[in-house]
Amino acid sequence: MPQTAIFSKLRREMPGLLFTLGLVLATTAVIFAIIISVGLTRGSVLYIVPVMIAAIRWGLVPALFAAGLGVIASAYFFFPPLYSFTIRDPQEVINLLLYIFTAIVVSQLATRLKRQLELSRRREIEMRNLYAFSRRLAAAFASSDIHAAIEDHLATVMQHKVVVFPARDTMSGRPRRVAVPDAVRALVDTLLRGNPEPAADATVHDEAGHVWLVRAISPKSTEFGIIAVDMGRQTQAGLDQQRAHIAQVLDDANATLERLDIARAINEARMRARADQFIEALLGSVSHELRTPLASILGAATVLGAAPALARDRKLSALVNDVRNEAERLNDDIQNLLDATRISSNGIEPRNEWTDPADIINSAIERCRRRLKDHRLSLDVPPDLPLIHVDSVLVQQALVQMFDNAAKYSAPQSRISVRARVQDGQMVISVADQGLGLTAEEKARIWDRFFRGARHTGAAGGSGLGLWVAHAFIAANGGTIEAASDGAGRGATFSIRLPILAAALAELEGDADE
């Protein structure tokens, strides 16, 4: 063994050796105290105690060191002639040899017990992590969730930086929580192309001198992806040991992946993601292409509706109004498609500002004036409502969807009630109608995208996006939207709940006073 390795091992063992020396000194003091108080003539057997403690706490080397110190202390302090390393009685020599044998056996057994305990504890932690890994995989929906679960599990168990590269994925477009050297990326590309075999692994050294181990997660294929493990600076012996540990961890992970059929789940998630991207692109393209001719139709219908010649002809006037009404309905459906594309693709980033709830309600009613003209509108909006910190455009669009639903599914001349109130620290805006109402099944699915009940499909047209868009817009503002109904044909009440920020409101009032 090289001299540097000896000194390195000695430095690692030094704390245990020093504590062991202290234990032996303390045991010697206890033995002297027992001899003085009780009259005991032999107490060297007590040196077994520091041997056991050293073996369990620090390992074999400190245990053997404690045994040697016990032999020296016994010979010097307790075997005649006292305070000398000379032993005259052969029987005492036999006793001392028996003590040495017993101390060595005890140290070996205690050390083995410590290793078994550490192994059991480590295995228990690994099984607990594996169970959590299985639960996270079972709940994963997208392939990115599955690969993130694999990455986190391996990093937790291996106690090293781990990067997972999905199969057939563009590495440049995927954000990494750990910087990956270019040499590692090149090796990953090679493995993903199937050269060498997936079961093979390879190592790469980066500029900092760290060793990266790169290999497929599964020895059978690259379907689960490739992992790169930053193992830091390692000797060859340490590298071989880490290789064995990683292989064991991956065997457990592969057993879980195969049991849950994650390969199929990854493929299905990839197909769902591609289908969603295709649908969003199609919706966006069709919506924008329809918007241009529709604007011309709306403009022409508006001009024709205001023409004096057509106003005197009831039939033509009714036809123009029908064209305009249907064009507006189609425009709303297209807006819903655009909103759906926006929600699915880029998410919603609300631009919050202090707004009077009454202004939002009045603006939404004004936008729906033509659709609500055949209904009796009832308003209950107190003038002293507190301001709310929301994106007024998004909340207004959600209210428009609620007004549109109430008008479409309610009989002409029926009442539509709008009410605003403060309840439990929230601003609650409700729209109640006397229309078709909701069954229990419809109430459970009404917020799903593209859902339309059979009763509602026969009563009026629509895309099934309106309430889904309203739900997303209100959620983006930190609020909730809910539906209540006593059953089919008994009307429905839709309520928006938005938070009232008391602390922010006080700050705003303080700014106004200044």
Higher-confidence residue of 319 and 457: namely 319
Q: Tell me how far apart the alpha carbons of residues 399 and 405 are, in angstroms, rounded to a whole number.
A: 10
Quick: pLDDT tens for 44-84: 677 778 877 777 777 777 777 887 787 778 777 777 777 77
Q: What is the pLDDT of residue 433?
A: 92
What is the distance between the alpha carbons of residues 484 and 432, in angstroms, rounded to a whole number? 9
Please, which residues have CB within 8 angstroms of residue 77's CB and are 6 or more apart in sequence?
28, 31, 32, 83
Whether 1 shows a pLDDT value over 60: the answer reads no
pLDDT of residue 95 exceeding 60, the answer is yes
| Lowest-confidence region among 149-153, 354-358, 412-416 | 149-153
Q: Which amino acid is at 338?
A: L
Higher pLDDT, 80 or 358: 358
| Percentages (nearest 5) of helix, strand, coil residues in the chain | 60, 10, 25
**What is the pTM (predicted TM-score) of this model?**
0.44
User: Where does 93-220 show beta strands of DSSP type E?
Assistant: 161-165, 201-205, 211-216
The per-residue pLDDT for 169 is: 46
Q: 6 pLDDT band (50/70/90 cuts)?
A: low
Give the model's confidence band at 493: pLDDT under 50 very low, under 70 low, under 90 confident, else very high. very high
Phi–psi pair at 197, nearest 5 degrees:
-65, 155
φ, ψ of residue 292 to 5 degrees: the values are: -65, -55
What is the spatial distance between Cα 345 and Cα 192, in angstroms, rounded to a whole number? 29
Structure tokens belonging to residue 460: 């009026």
Say what the pLDDT of residue 362 is.
92
Q: From residue 275, give the alpha-carbon distance in Å to each of 268, 271, 282, 452.
A: 10, 6, 10, 21
Token pair listed for 114: 């410590």
Average pLDDT, the chain: 75
- What letter would DSSP give residue 410? S
pLDDT band per the 50, 70, 90 thresholds, residue 427: very high
Nearest-CA neighbor of 190 among 216, 209, 220? 216
CA 289 from centre of chain: 38
- Categorize the per-residue pLDDT at 351 as very low, low, confident or very high, splitting at 50, 70 and 90: confident
pLDDT in tens, 261-281: 555 655 665 566 666 666 666
pLDDT of residue 184: 80
d(CA 418, CA 324): 26
Burial of residue 321 (CB within 10 Å: 0-12, 13-18, 19+) is middle
- Collapsing DSSP to helix, strand or coil, 384 comes out as coil
Residue 92 has pLDDT above 70, yes or no: no
Higher-pLDDT residue of 421, 165: 421
pLDDT value of residue 273: 61
Above 90 in pLDDT, residue 203?
no
- Compare 258 and 84 and report the one with higher pLDDT: 84
Question: In the structure, what pLDDT confidence band is assigned to residue 360 with cuts at 50, 70 and 90?
Answer: very high
Residue 462 — very low, low, confident or very high, per pLDDT cuts 50/70/90?
Answer: low
pLDDT at 173: 39
Structure tokens at 486: 């006593």
Phi, psi of 471 (to 5 degrees): -60, -45
Please state the rounded mean pLDDT for residues 176-202: 68
The Cα–Cα gap between 397 and 295 comes to: 19
Distance CA 377, CA 417 (A): 6
DSSP state of 409: T
Quote the tokens at residue 381: 């909006």
Q: Round to whole Å and give the CA distance between 1 and 156.
A: 33
- Predicted local confidence at residue 339, as pLDDT: 67
Where is mean pLDDT largest: 31-40, 450-459, 491-500?
491-500
Q: What count of residues does the chain have?
A: 514
CA dist 227 and 164 (Å) reads 5
Confidence of residue 191 (pLDDT cuts 50, 70, 90): confident
Using a pLDDT cut of 90, give the percent of the chain over it.
Answer: 9
> Hunting for tokens 């009940």 — which residue is that?
453
Tokens standing for residue 180: 């990956």
**Closest residue by Cα to residue 56 from 119, 123, 109:** 109
Report for 19-23, 312-316, 364-368: range of highest mean pLDDT: 364-368
